[in-house]
Amino acid sequence: MLDSTLQMEILFLFKTLNNPRRLQIMFYLEKASFATNGVIAKVLQLHPGTVSKDLSLLCKVELLEKEKVGTQRLFSVSNKWKHIKDLNRT
């Protein structure tokens, strides 16, 4: 049986992904390789504040990586996201 900490992590991961907007962000970043909050908001026609909150949640569950370049933060999909997608193909 899974320990309670792992159960909570898995639950939070699935709750985070159970949102069409966050999935839209993930699939966009997968195609774009990387982007800033502002670019994501503009391309997907979403409010920047909403995108910012979603990006924070996606980073918290380690589906996104964040790199600071100058004054901007670039977001990209993590290996964890790639692994989850690969599981779906098997």
pLDDT tens digits for range 19-42: 999 999 999 999 999 999 999 999
Residue 27's nearest CA partner among 54, 60, 2, 48 is 54
Per-residue pLDDT of the chain (90 residues; tens, 9 = 90+): 668 888 898 899 999 999 999 999 999 999 999 999 999 999 999 999 999 999 999 999 999 999 999 999 999 999 999 888 887 665
Rounded Cα–Cα distance for residues 60 and 55 (Å): 8
Rounded Cα–Cα distance for residues 20 and 2 (Å): 28
DSSP code per residue over 28-56 = HHHHHS-B-HHHHHHHHT--HHHHHHHHH
